[in-house]
Amino acid sequence: MKRVITTLLLIFSVSVATSQFIELDLIQDGFNNPVNLQNAGDERLFVVEQGGRIKIMQPNGGVNPDLFLDISTQISSGGERGLLGLAFHPDYSNNGFFYVYYTKPNGDSQISRFSVDPNNPDLADPNSELPFLDFDQPFSNHNGGCLAFGPDGFLYISSGDGGSGGDPGNRAQNTSLLLGKLLRIDVDNPSGTNNYSIPSDNPFAGSSSDAQEIWAYGLRNPWKFSFDSANGDIWIGDVGQGEVEEIDRAAITDAGLNYGWRCYEGSQPFNTTGCPTVADLTFPIAEYSSASNTANCSITGGNVYRGTEYPDFVGLYFFSDVCSGLIGTVDQNGNLIEHGTFGGSWVSFGEDVNNELYIVSITGGISRVRQPEELGVEENDLEAFEMFPNPASESVTLKLQNNKIDTITIVDIKGSLVFSESNLNLSQKKISTNKLNAGFYLVNVKTVTGHNIVKKLVVK
């Protein structure tokens, strides 16, 4: 990441559309530099701490007193090093295997398998480590560190470009190296002297000069990636150099893609000397600015929401920024919405067994991501608000009892303002919806006494 990940900027949004679409419920605080959150196919949530410990958090936020795993004595930690990734085997309930990504005391990367204690599902066997893959890290930053099993059953691993700035060794474009890549290995079928094998459809499988573990390349620091559980698409949040944070998406069958670093930072040229043609590169589905005139610095890739509690979230990819606290979404067409800043130094997302979404701050807190309640009135319910008809076709009427309307704003699902009127001082207002496309909208009413009311509107 471009700046120290403990940076915390408490910046609050002033946009109407921002904090109304997303709210966070703090589930538990007090973790020590948490960097990852996973489930093992049951209600427990496993919290990965950068210092080398994994803790179990229960659905109610309670934390088990005993550590699930402690490898703090065999790692290096601090900055961008530490215990960084965790993935449970797809058949974990039967084989008890899980995989971790950590930096060794010399700073190099290590991916290993551990096993759960056969007599206690809340404890790992600390003596069960089986090394799978390791590779050199020339600098302390840009380690990548994310692990995930794809829908094909293979283990995917993100590796950074080796660090420093500007990829001085052009490692991300060098397909003989594992740095700056997305790797893909078969952990269930060992081959030769390795504890894994190369899937036959890896782009460089069988090569004597290219690293056969590579699935994709041209990445700078893919800190987090995930798979869309509905269609298998992979989404990657790749940290930019100093101007652009990028989000990449590819089908699970798209092997050998070159995402362009260090030739391009996002869609902008960075160092195109000796680079492939543009036609040979894959550019982001979405990007946002992290230039010096913004508070942004480093993207944290998240997940495509596939839960059931918040239908308006379904199909949206969630991401965040470490420094500004920004949380945003990207829809399936690549439309990016910044929903505001939420006061955390967000370093990871996670899902529970029901695909509901959580977000992790390096400062120690884990929150659930949710939609706000439809009404944001005071508890004494002074306003007694009505909005009818809903769904609407030609017009909608907003009505207040015991108060008056000062301002009305309506935004669509993309966060675009489609209607705004202020200084109304009315108890009732009728608005034409003839020019609005069919779909979902958020109506925000501010009363003359300063209360805010938010309600969903459906236009037919």
In the block, which residue shows the tokens 């090569």? 207
Query: Is residue 301 a contact partner of residue 222, using CB atoms and an 8 Å limit?
Result: yes
Each residue's pLDDT tens digit in the chain (460 positions)?
443 333 222 222 323 333 458 999 999 999 999 999 999 999 999 999 999 999 999 999 999 999 999 999 999 999 999 999 999 999 999 999 999 999 999 999 999 999 999 999 999 999 999 999 999 999 999 999 999 999 999 999 999 999 999 999 999 999 999 999 999 999 999 999 999 999 999 999 999 999 999 999 999 999 999 999 999 999 999 999 999 999 999 999 999 999 999 999 999 999 999 999 999 999 999 999 999 999 999 999 999 999 999 999 999 999 999 999 999 999 999 999 898 899 999 999 999 999 999 999 999 999 999 998 754 444 334 457 889 999 999 999 999 888 899 999 998 766 678 999 999 999 999 999 999 998 878 788 888 887 777 677 888 8
Helix (H) or strand (E) holding 257: none
* Nearest CA among 112, 179, 183, 101 for reference residue 142: 179
Whether this model's pTM surpasses 0.85: no
SS3 state at 197: strand
Architecture (CATH level 2) of domain 386-459: Sandwich (2.60)
- The hierarchical CATH code for the domain 18-370 is 2.120.10.30
* CA angle (17 as vertex; 11, 20 as ends), nearest 5: 80
Helix (H) or strand (E) holding 175: none
Give the dihedral of Cα atoms 250, 256, 259, 260; nearest 10 deg. -160
Q: Is the dihedral of CA 303, 368, 143, 336 positive or negative?
A: positive
Q: Could you check whether the bond before residue 220 is cis, i.e. omega within 30 degrees of 0?
A: no
What is the spatial order of strands in the sheet that 224-227 belongs to? 224-227, 234-238, 244-250, 286-289
SS3 state at 427: coil
- Domain edges within the chain: 18-370, 386-459
Contact partners, residue 257, CB within 8 Å, separation at least 6? 216, 217, 218, 250, 282
For the beta carbon of residue 455, count every other beta carbon within 10 angstroms.
18
Task: Give Cα separations from 436 to 250, 252, 432 (angstroms).
Answer: 33, 36, 9
